[in-house]
Amino acid sequence: MPELPETETIARDLDGAISGRKIKKVSVRKRDVLRGVSSRSLAKRLQDATIVRSWRRAKLVVIDLDTGDRLVVQPRFTGALLIDDGNFRGAELDYSTLRLELDDGRALHYADVRRLGTVALMNADRFAEYSAKLGIEPLDRSFTAAHLSAVLRATSQPVKKVLMEQRKIAGIGNIYANEALWRARIDPSRLAASISVEEASLLRESIVNVLREAIAARGTSFRDYRDARGERGSFVEKLDVYGRGGLPCRRCGSKLVSTHAIDGRSTTMCVRCQH
């Protein structure tokens, strides 16, 4: 599932490529990806709207329109926002669910093989209400060690599960929770309330650094993720634990262990380094 670095990459690509463009035609090819809006209403509200900017909130790609509406896309497992300039060779366009024809001849597609992602159209008030339910952005200045420590001290859930709780911290998923906890030398199964202030400070630094590095590498293409140009992210080459179960720990050489016991998702860790 695209997490913060992947959706940030997509949003930046879109912002640079389609800001200022007008939507001339809307084609809904698979209505089941729409949420809270009908195909007819979506087409009517998008027709002749100008794209003001594209940005990210949590794991969402948000496209602001001059009408005041916001097109809100949650790619989930296999979703992708792709810019088709006529030279696109990716097979992903075969799975286009929504096509927005732009005034310069290009098109923006939302493609989704499994159609588990969603596309919503929200006015400013509805989006503000929706966004208010999400947690703090880990790349914001307000995400301090003290803030993270307070979040962790307030719950007895496993620390890895807390990092992925979108109502507490927005944008971190399984990949980067694994990576940050390994960097901070913290056992993912430890109770969040047991994390000391000093450990929370190191964990906060690890979270911020791994997210920034992944953005610089244009995300992690472990399976399905593609950027707006249909290309893969390269951070998979720098993963220290995620997807490396059974391989040597890059820090101590011990065999990495993978388990689904913590939160039902794949957790990989070094039992020697992380405690």
Active site residue 59: yes
- Cβ burial of 84 (10 Å; 0-12, 13-18, 19+) is buried
Active site residue 265: yes
Q: What does 178-245 look like in DSSP terms, one character per residue? A: HHHHHHTT--TTSBGGG--HHHHHHHHHHHHHHHHHHHHTT-B-SSS---TTSPPPBGGGG-SSTT-T
Annotated active-site residue in 56, 57, 59, 204: 59
Beta carbons of 186 and 154 less than 8 angstroms apart: no
Beta carbons of 70 and 64 less than 8 angstroms apart: yes
What length does the chain have?
275
Annotated active-site residue in 24, 212, 238, 265: 265
For the record, the structure tokens of 17 come out as 């490529």
Active site residue 138: no
Q: Rounded distance, CA 154 to CA 139, Å?
A: 21
The catalytic site residues sit at 2-3, 59, 265
